[in-house]
Amino acid sequence: MTVMEEDLDLVFAALADSTRRAILTRLTEGEATVSQLAEPFAMSQQAVSKHLKVLERAHLISRTRSAQSRPCRLDADQLEEAVGWIEGHRRIWAERHDRLAEHLATLPEETS
């Protein structure tokens, strides 16, 4: 398995959870602390921190140190890699679908 494949595995595993997707959505608005990210969820800051570690391991977020807090920020590079992978496979299947449609159009129609 290549490094890129391993990275994609981490990204897709991280995106498989709705809480982590919601955290990423919140981070599109700008940096946030763990307590800010935990506000909309019925879970502890510790549970949110575990989600953040998964996102950080997948390189979807990064944390900086600012005084006592460690604000999180979205890192979209890995998302772009995942989108590129999905788009490449979407194109392959669209081309196959088009070829199948062209082939089916050449077949004689059956009469009942």
Residue 50 main-chain phi, psi, to 5 deg: -65, -40
Ordered by start, the domain boundaries in the chain are 3-106
Helix (H, G, I), strand (E, B) or coil at 28: coil
Burial zone of 33 (CB within 10 Å; 0-12 exposed, 13-18 middle, 19+ buried): middle
Residue 53 to residue 73: CA distance in whole angstroms: 13
Q: What is the pLDDT of residues 26-78, one digit of tens each?
A: 999 999 999 999 999 988 989 999 999 999 999 999 988 766 778 999 998 88
Which pLDDT band holds residue 4 (cuts at 50, 70, 90)?
A: confident
Query: Which class is domain 3-106?
Result: mainly alpha
Q: pTM for the full model? A: 0.76
- DSSP classification of residue 40: T
Residue 9 to residue 1: CA distance in whole angstroms: 10
- DSSP classification of residue 62: E
